Structure 1
């Protein structure tokens, strides 16, 4: 939203309304509760930080986890697949925290004929 505010001129007193239009689901319920508790209609540094910590960071984490678990080598070289696998693996912690788990998950994304060859190693 901050990025959007740099492109579109939004008066300070309208920012809460602008932001609340875009939040959905559980995040919207939290936002409405937090806003009802605020005496003035402005985004405070504390409420903004809590909101980001609770929802956007969690949302992004979840999206990266989904991308990781859906990752397949299809259409990529093994090198490209490994690069993307490594990039996304940092978001899934316990699933790839030891080499054995990491290798098993890596193999699961390979095509069956290639998986069987890699499994031998």
Structure 2
């Protein structure tokens, strides 16, 4: 269970849906089709538990993220983001790590000001100055 891979998979599926103009009521069927291995077994059992009604794409996304990006993982990533310091990293490597973690904490970086302030806080003091 790698939350970054799970989020990346969802992003790729959403891009594919946009590209081929998949109708909203078909998205869940297509997303389910592209699940492989354990994820496919999980989805088959989850569909049975959800009942006979239509499972919307939003509901699919919610269920998928509950399974592959649960709250405790979100909390761990948020802590990593908040504790991120440049340390021995180059500024470029620090920036890359910052961007990687920031995409998982959208409320922390929802303005340029918040993003810049947090980025500066993690820099080495002599660079920050």
* TM-score of the two chains, using structure 2 as the length reference: 0.49
1:94 corresponds to 2:95: no
In the alignment, what sits opposite 1:113?
126
Unaligned runs of 5+ in 1: 2-43, 117-121
The one of 61, 65, 71 aligned to 2:78: 65
* TM-score of the two chains, using structure 1 as the length reference: 0.52
The one of 87, 101, 104 aligned to 1:74: 87
- In the TM superposition, what is the alpha-carbon distance from 1:45 to its structure 2 partner? 2.3
**For the residues of structure 1 that align with 2:64 and 2:126, how far apart are their CA atoms?**
46
In the alignment of these two chains, the number of paired residues is 75
**For the residues of structure 1 that align with 2:91 and 2:115, how far apart are their CA atoms?**
15
- In the TM superposition, what is the alpha-carbon distance from 1:54 to its structure 2 partner? 7.2
**For the residues of structure 1 that align with 2:74 and 2:84, how far apart are their CA atoms?**
15
Distance 1:111 1:55, change over 3 A: same
In the alignment, what sits opposite 2:46?
45
- If asked which structure has higher relative contact order (CA below 8 Å, sep 6+), I would say 2
Report which of the two structures shows the higher radius of gyration computed on alpha carbons: 1
Runs of 4+ in 1 over 4 A off after TM superposition: 49-52
In the alignment, what sits opposite 1:30?
none
Unaligned runs of 5+ in 2: 2-44, 50-59
Distance 1:61 1:78, change over 3 A: same
Distance 1:51 1:106, change over 3 A: closer
**For the residues of structure 1 that align with 2:125 and 2:64, how far apart are their CA atoms?**
43
- Over the residues paired in the alignment, what is the CA RMSD in angstroms? 2.8
